[in-house]
Protein backbone atom coordinates (compact mmCIF):
# COMPACT_ATOMS: atom_id res chain seq x y z
CA UNK A 1 0.00 0.00 0.00
CA UNK A 2 1.49 3.32 -1.08
CA UNK A 3 2.21 6.01 1.56
CA UNK A 4 -0.70 8.37 2.08
CA UNK A 5 -3.28 5.72 1.25
CA UNK A 6 -6.40 5.32 3.39
CA UNK A 7 -5.05 2.15 5.00
CA UNK A 8 -1.74 3.78 5.96
CA UNK A 9 -3.49 6.85 7.35
CA UNK A 10 -5.80 4.65 9.45
CA UNK A 11 -2.85 2.85 11.02
CA UNK A 12 -1.08 6.13 11.82
CA UNK A 13 -4.29 7.45 13.39
CA UNK A 14 -4.76 4.33 15.53
CA UNK A 15 -1.21 4.55 16.84
CA UNK A 16 -1.71 8.22 17.72
CA UNK A 17 -4.96 7.42 19.50
CA UNK A 18 -3.51 4.52 21.50
CA UNK A 19 -0.48 6.58 22.54
CA UNK A 20 -2.74 9.54 23.22
CA UNK A 21 -4.95 7.45 25.49
CA UNK A 22 -2.13 5.86 27.45
CA UNK A 23 0.06 8.95 27.76
CA UNK A 24 -2.98 11.18 28.23
CA UNK A 25 -4.06 9.12 31.21
CA UNK A 26 -0.59 9.21 32.79
CA UNK A 27 -0.22 12.96 32.23
CA UNK A 28 -3.69 13.57 33.62
CA UNK A 29 -2.77 11.55 36.67
CA UNK A 30 0.51 13.44 37.22
CA UNK A 31 -0.91 16.92 36.68
CA UNK A 32 -3.99 16.00 38.70
CA UNK A 33 -1.72 15.07 41.59
CA UNK A 34 -0.08 18.49 41.37
CA UNK A 35 -3.51 20.10 41.43
CA UNK A 36 -3.98 18.95 45.03
CA UNK A 37 -1.23 21.44 45.92
CA UNK A 38 -1.85 24.03 43.18
CA UNK A 39 -5.63 24.10 42.72
CA UNK A 40 -5.81 27.24 40.53
CA UNK A 41 -5.02 27.25 36.82
CA UNK A 42 -2.28 29.89 36.88
CA UNK A 43 -0.44 28.39 39.86
CA UNK A 44 -0.81 24.89 38.45
CA UNK A 45 0.55 25.80 35.01
CA UNK A 46 3.39 27.72 36.60
CA UNK A 47 4.35 24.64 38.59
CA UNK A 48 4.05 22.36 35.57
CA UNK A 49 6.34 24.72 33.64
CA UNK A 50 8.89 24.77 36.48
CA UNK A 51 8.97 21.08 37.26
CA UNK A 52 11.52 18.92 35.49
CA UNK A 53 9.47 15.74 35.80
CA UNK A 54 5.77 14.93 35.96
CA UNK A 55 5.49 12.07 38.44
CA UNK A 56 2.53 9.72 38.30
CA UNK A 57 0.73 7.85 41.06
CA UNK A 58 -0.67 4.35 41.58
CA UNK A 59 -3.29 5.15 38.90
CA UNK A 60 -0.69 4.99 36.16
CA UNK A 61 1.41 2.32 37.89
CA UNK A 62 -1.60 0.00 37.75
CA UNK A 63 -2.46 0.98 34.15
CA UNK A 64 1.13 0.04 33.27
CA UNK A 65 0.66 -3.29 35.05
CA UNK A 66 -2.56 -3.96 33.15
CA UNK A 67 -0.89 -3.18 29.83
CA UNK A 68 2.10 -5.36 30.73
CA UNK A 69 -0.11 -8.29 31.66
CA UNK A 70 -2.24 -8.08 28.50
CA UNK A 71 0.83 -7.85 26.28
CA UNK A 72 2.74 -10.63 28.04
CA UNK A 73 -0.24 -13.01 28.23
CA UNK A 74 -1.82 -12.13 24.91
CA UNK A 75 -5.02 -11.32 26.81
CA UNK A 76 -6.44 -11.04 30.30
CA UNK A 77 -5.61 -13.68 32.90
CA UNK A 78 -6.85 -12.58 36.32
CA UNK A 79 -4.30 -14.30 38.52
CA UNK A 80 -1.42 -13.25 36.29
CA UNK A 81 -2.79 -9.70 36.29
CA UNK A 82 -3.07 -9.72 40.07
CA UNK A 83 0.49 -11.01 40.34
CA UNK A 84 1.72 -8.23 38.04
CA UNK A 85 -0.02 -5.69 40.24
CA UNK A 86 1.53 -7.23 43.35
CA UNK A 87 5.06 -7.30 41.96
CA UNK A 88 4.81 -3.70 40.78
CA UNK A 89 3.49 -2.64 44.19
CA UNK A 90 6.41 -4.33 45.94
CA UNK A 91 8.84 -2.43 43.71
CA UNK A 92 7.14 0.96 44.26
CA UNK A 93 4.88 0.87 47.33
CA UNK A 94 5.15 4.66 47.68
CA UNK A 95 3.04 5.44 44.60
CA UNK A 96 0.00 6.33 46.73
CA UNK A 97 -1.92 3.06 46.82
CA UNK A 98 -5.09 2.98 48.90
CA UNK A 99 -5.44 0.22 51.50
CA UNK A 100 -7.36 -2.17 49.25
CA UNK A 101 -4.66 -3.55 46.94
CA UNK A 102 -2.06 -4.22 49.69
CA UNK A 103 -4.75 -5.98 51.74
CA UNK A 104 -5.61 -8.17 48.76
CA UNK A 105 -1.95 -8.94 48.07
CA UNK A 106 -1.45 -9.94 51.69
CA UNK A 107 -4.48 -12.25 51.71
CA UNK A 108 -3.38 -13.94 48.50
CA UNK A 109 0.08 -14.54 49.94
CA UNK A 110 -1.02 -15.66 53.41
CA UNK A 111 -4.11 -17.73 52.63
CA UNK A 112 -3.58 -18.94 49.08
CA UNK A 113 -6.69 -17.17 47.77
CA UNK A 114 -7.12 -16.10 44.19
CA UNK A 115 -7.01 -12.36 43.62
CA UNK A 116 -10.71 -12.35 42.81
CA UNK A 117 -11.53 -14.20 46.04
CA UNK A 118 -9.43 -11.82 48.10
CA UNK A 119 -11.04 -8.80 46.43
CA UNK A 120 -14.49 -10.13 47.34
CA UNK A 121 -13.49 -10.19 51.01
CA UNK A 122 -13.13 -6.41 51.18
CA UNK A 123 -15.78 -4.28 52.87
CA UNK A 124 -17.54 -7.08 54.67
CA UNK A 125 -17.67 -9.38 51.69
CA UNK A 126 -19.22 -6.83 49.35
CA UNK A 127 -16.04 -5.83 47.53
CA UNK A 128 -14.90 -2.31 46.66
CA UNK A 129 -16.82 0.17 44.54
CA UNK A 130 -13.98 2.66 44.53
CA UNK A 131 -12.60 4.13 41.31
CA UNK A 132 -9.38 2.09 41.34
CA UNK A 133 -10.46 -0.26 38.58
CA UNK A 134 -11.72 2.60 36.37
CA UNK A 135 -8.58 4.70 36.82
CA UNK A 136 -6.37 2.01 35.24
CA UNK A 137 -8.70 0.48 32.62
CA UNK A 138 -7.48 2.53 29.65
CA UNK A 139 -5.55 -0.40 28.03
CA UNK A 140 -8.77 -2.44 27.91
CA UNK A 141 -10.70 0.43 26.33
CA UNK A 142 -7.97 0.93 23.76
CA UNK A 143 -7.95 -2.72 22.73
CA UNK A 144 -11.57 -3.83 22.77
CA UNK A 145 -14.46 -2.19 20.97
CA UNK A 146 -17.96 -2.18 22.56
CA UNK A 147 -19.19 -4.95 20.27
CA UNK A 148 -16.20 -7.19 20.95
CA UNK A 149 -16.74 -8.50 24.48
CA UNK A 150 -15.62 -5.27 26.11
CA UNK A 151 -17.73 -5.64 29.23
CA UNK A 152 -16.36 -9.13 29.94
CA UNK A 153 -12.79 -7.93 29.50
CA UNK A 154 -13.33 -4.86 31.69
CA UNK A 155 -14.96 -7.04 34.35
CA UNK A 156 -12.00 -9.41 34.34
CA UNK A 157 -9.57 -6.50 34.73
CA UNK A 158 -11.59 -5.02 37.60
CA UNK A 159 -12.42 -8.08 39.70
CA UNK A 160 -8.90 -8.71 40.92
CA UNK A 161 -9.24 -5.65 43.18
CA UNK A 162 -12.82 -4.34 42.81
CA UNK A 163 -15.47 -7.04 43.11
CA UNK A 164 -18.52 -4.90 43.88
CA UNK A 165 -20.90 -4.69 40.88
CA UNK A 166 -20.73 -0.88 40.90
CA UNK A 167 -16.92 -0.96 40.95
CA UNK A 168 -16.97 -3.34 37.99
CA UNK A 169 -19.61 -1.33 36.12
CA UNK A 170 -17.77 1.94 36.62
CA UNK A 171 -14.60 0.44 35.16
CA UNK A 172 -16.54 -1.04 32.24
CA UNK A 173 -18.24 2.26 31.40
CA UNK A 174 -14.91 4.09 31.57
CA UNK A 175 -13.46 1.47 29.21
CA UNK A 176 -16.43 1.97 26.90
CA UNK A 177 -15.82 5.72 26.89
CA UNK A 178 -12.20 5.14 25.83
CA UNK A 179 -13.32 2.60 23.21
CA UNK A 180 -15.86 5.02 21.77
CA UNK A 181 -13.20 7.74 21.70
CA UNK A 182 -10.83 5.49 19.75
CA UNK A 183 -13.56 4.66 17.27
CA UNK A 184 -14.52 8.25 16.46
CA UNK A 185 -12.71 10.46 13.96
CA UNK A 186 -12.00 13.83 15.63
CA UNK A 187 -12.07 15.54 12.24
CA UNK A 188 -15.79 14.80 11.92
CA UNK A 189 -18.79 16.17 13.79
CA UNK A 190 -18.96 15.00 17.39
CA UNK A 191 -22.30 14.18 19.02
CA UNK A 192 -22.19 14.36 22.81
CA UNK A 193 -25.73 12.95 22.92
CA UNK A 194 -24.73 9.88 20.91
CA UNK A 195 -21.60 9.37 23.00
CA UNK A 196 -23.35 9.51 26.37
CA UNK A 197 -26.28 7.41 25.17
CA UNK A 198 -23.79 4.69 24.28
CA UNK A 199 -22.55 4.73 27.88
CA UNK A 200 -26.08 4.68 29.30
CA UNK A 201 -26.93 1.66 27.17
CA UNK A 202 -23.67 -0.07 28.10
CA UNK A 203 -23.94 0.31 31.88
CA UNK A 204 -25.45 -2.51 33.92
CA UNK A 205 -26.10 -1.04 37.38
CA UNK A 206 -28.72 1.50 38.36
CA UNK A 207 -26.08 3.56 40.20
CA UNK A 208 -23.91 4.11 37.12
CA UNK A 209 -26.79 4.32 34.66
CA UNK A 210 -28.51 7.05 36.67
CA UNK A 211 -25.29 9.09 36.85
CA UNK A 212 -24.77 8.77 33.10
CA UNK A 213 -28.28 10.11 32.59
CA UNK A 214 -27.43 12.98 34.93
CA UNK A 215 -24.34 13.74 32.82
CA UNK A 216 -26.51 13.76 29.69
CA UNK A 217 -28.85 16.26 31.32
CA UNK A 218 -26.04 18.51 32.51
CA UNK A 219 -24.33 18.58 29.13
CA UNK A 220 -27.63 19.24 27.34
CA UNK A 221 -28.28 22.18 29.68
CA UNK A 222 -24.70 23.49 29.35
CA UNK A 223 -24.31 23.30 33.13
CA UNK A 224 -21.18 24.94 34.53
CA UNK A 225 -18.49 22.65 36.04
CA UNK A 226 -19.16 23.82 39.61
CA UNK A 227 -22.81 22.87 39.30
CA UNK A 228 -21.99 19.58 37.57
CA UNK A 229 -19.45 18.70 40.25
CA UNK A 230 -22.04 19.29 42.95
CA UNK A 231 -24.68 17.17 41.23
CA UNK A 232 -22.39 14.33 40.10
CA UNK A 233 -19.76 14.16 42.86
CA UNK A 234 -15.99 13.78 42.65
CA UNK A 235 -15.13 11.33 45.43
CA UNK A 236 -13.18 8.07 45.33
CA UNK A 237 -16.46 6.16 44.84
CA UNK A 238 -16.54 5.33 41.15
CA UNK A 239 -20.13 6.54 40.67
CA UNK A 240 -19.02 9.93 42.04
CA UNK A 241 -15.87 10.45 40.00
CA UNK A 242 -15.92 8.56 36.71
CA UNK A 243 -19.13 10.38 35.62
CA UNK A 244 -17.51 13.76 36.26
CA UNK A 245 -14.55 12.74 34.07
CA UNK A 246 -17.07 11.91 31.33
CA UNK A 247 -18.70 15.29 31.84
CA UNK A 248 -15.30 17.05 31.53
CA UNK A 249 -14.62 15.31 28.22
CA UNK A 250 -18.06 16.03 26.80
CA UNK A 251 -17.83 19.69 27.84
CA UNK A 252 -14.45 20.06 26.09
CA UNK A 253 -14.22 17.32 23.42
CA UNK A 254 -11.90 19.36 21.18
CA UNK A 255 -9.24 20.33 23.73
CA UNK A 256 -7.15 17.95 25.82
CA UNK A 257 -5.95 20.84 27.99
CA UNK A 258 -9.43 22.24 28.71
CA UNK A 259 -10.84 18.78 29.37
CA UNK A 260 -8.08 18.02 31.85
CA UNK A 261 -8.42 21.35 33.66
CA UNK A 262 -12.17 20.88 33.98
CA UNK A 263 -11.62 17.42 35.47
CA UNK A 264 -8.98 18.38 38.05
CA UNK A 265 -9.75 21.96 39.10
CA UNK A 266 -13.16 21.31 40.62
CA UNK A 267 -12.06 19.44 43.73
CA UNK A 268 -12.37 15.79 44.61
CA UNK A 269 -10.07 12.91 43.66
CA UNK A 270 -8.03 15.06 41.29
CA UNK A 271 -5.35 12.63 40.11
CA UNK A 272 -7.84 9.90 39.25
CA UNK A 273 -10.22 12.37 37.62
CA UNK A 274 -7.28 13.54 35.52
CA UNK A 275 -6.30 9.99 34.61
CA UNK A 276 -9.80 9.07 33.47
CA UNK A 277 -10.53 12.29 31.57
CA UNK A 278 -7.05 12.33 30.03
CA UNK A 279 -7.48 8.76 28.82
CA UNK A 280 -10.71 9.57 26.98
CA UNK A 281 -9.54 12.88 25.51
CA UNK A 282 -6.18 11.49 24.43
CA UNK A 283 -7.84 8.48 22.82
CA UNK A 284 -10.21 10.74 20.91
CA UNK A 285 -7.89 13.53 19.82
CA UNK A 286 -4.63 11.59 19.57
CA UNK A 287 -1.15 12.19 20.90
CA UNK A 288 -0.72 15.41 18.94
CA UNK A 289 -3.47 17.07 20.98
CA UNK A 290 -1.43 16.95 24.20
CA UNK A 291 0.68 20.08 24.83
CA UNK A 292 4.12 19.17 23.54
CA UNK A 293 6.09 19.88 26.71
CA UNK A 294 3.94 17.61 28.90
CA UNK A 295 4.89 14.21 27.44
CA UNK A 296 8.55 15.25 27.42
CA UNK A 297 8.40 15.73 31.20
CA UNK A 298 6.45 12.58 31.98
CA UNK A 299 8.23 10.13 34.25
CA UNK A 300 9.01 6.80 32.57
CA UNK A 301 7.74 8.15 29.26
CA UNK A 302 9.85 5.90 27.04
CA UNK A 303 8.54 2.73 28.66
CA UNK A 304 4.91 3.91 28.58
CA UNK A 305 5.34 4.71 24.88
CA UNK A 306 6.82 1.25 24.34
CA UNK A 307 3.75 -0.30 25.93
CA UNK A 308 1.55 1.94 23.80
CA UNK A 309 3.26 0.86 20.59
CA UNK A 310 2.83 -2.78 21.60
CA UNK A 311 -0.87 -2.22 22.28
CA UNK A 312 -1.26 -0.35 18.98
CA UNK A 313 0.17 -3.37 17.22
CA UNK A 314 -2.62 -5.62 18.45
CA UNK A 315 -5.56 -3.19 18.62
CA UNK A 316 -8.47 -4.00 16.35
CA UNK A 317 -9.00 -1.35 13.68
CA UNK A 318 -12.23 0.34 14.83
CA UNK A 319 -13.05 1.92 11.47
What would the pLDDT profile of 113-134 be if each residue is shown by its tens digit? 999 999 999 999 999 999 999 9
Measured over the CA atoms of residue 87, residue 315, residue 282 and residue 293, the dihedral's sign is: positive
Count the Cβ atoms, other than its own, within 10 Å of residue 121. 16
Mean pLDDT of the chain: 93
Q: Are 116 and 163 in contact (CB under 8 A)?
A: yes
Q: Cα–Cα–Cα angle for 165, 168, 170, nearest 5°?
A: 105
For a pLDDT cut of 90, what percent of the chain falls above it?
Answer: 92
H or E element at residue 161: none
**Domain spans, the chain:** 9-314
Which residue in 2, 98, 56 sits closest to 294, CA to CA?
56
- The set of long-range contacts for 294-299, using a CB threshold of 8 Å and a minimum separation of 24, is 294/27, 294/31, 294/48, 294/54, 295/23, 295/27, 297/48, 297/51, 297/52, 297/53, 297/54, 298/23, 298/26, 298/27, 298/30, 298/53, 298/54, 298/56, 299/30, 299/53, 299/54, 299/55, 299/56
Cα-flanking dihedrals φ and ψ of residue 121, to 5°?
Answer: -75, -20
Q: At what angle do helices 270-285 and 6-35 cross, to 10 degrees?
A: 160
Tens digit of each residue's pLDDT (9 = 90 or more) over 170-226: 999 999 999 999 999 999 999 999 999 999 999 999 999 999 999 999 999 999 999
Position 147 scores a pLDDT of 66
Structure confidence by residue, pLDDT tens digits, 135-153? 999 999 999 876 669 999 9
**Residue 145: predicted pLDDT:** 73
C-alpha dist (Å) from residue 99 to 103, 146, 156, 244:
6, 32, 21, 24
Contact 277, 249 (CB under 8 A): yes
Residue 314, pLDDT score: 84
Cα 12 from Cα 93, distance rounded (Å): 36
Question: For residues 187 and 287, is the Cβ–Cβ distance under 8 A?
Answer: no
CATH architecture of 9-314: Orthogonal Bundle (1.10)
Length in residues, the chain: 319
Distance (Å, whole) CA 121 – CA 290: 40
Note the Cα 231 to chain centre separation in Å. 22
Do the beta carbons of residue 190 and residue 161 sit within 8 Å? no
Q: Is the pLDDT of residue 259 over 70?
A: yes
**Res 9 pLDDT > 60:** no
Model confidence at 316: pLDDT above 60: no
CA atoms of 266 and 165, how far apart (whole Å):
27
The answer to whether 181 and 24 have CB atoms below 8 angstroms apart is no
Give the 3-state secondary structure of 258-308.
Answer: HHHHHHHCCCCCHHHHHHHHHHHHHHHHCHHHCCCHHHHHECCHHHHHHHH
User: Residue 39's pLDDT is what?
Assistant: 96
Amino acid sequence: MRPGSEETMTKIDIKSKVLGGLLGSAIGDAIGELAFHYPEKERLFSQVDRTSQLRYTDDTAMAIGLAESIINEGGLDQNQLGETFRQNFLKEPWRGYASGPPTIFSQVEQFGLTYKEAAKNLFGGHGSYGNGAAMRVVPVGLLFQPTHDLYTQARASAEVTHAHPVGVDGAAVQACAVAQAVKRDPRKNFSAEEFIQGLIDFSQTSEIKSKMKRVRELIANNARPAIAAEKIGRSVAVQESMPFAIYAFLRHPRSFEDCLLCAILNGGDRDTLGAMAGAISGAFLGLESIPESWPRKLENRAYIEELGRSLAGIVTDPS
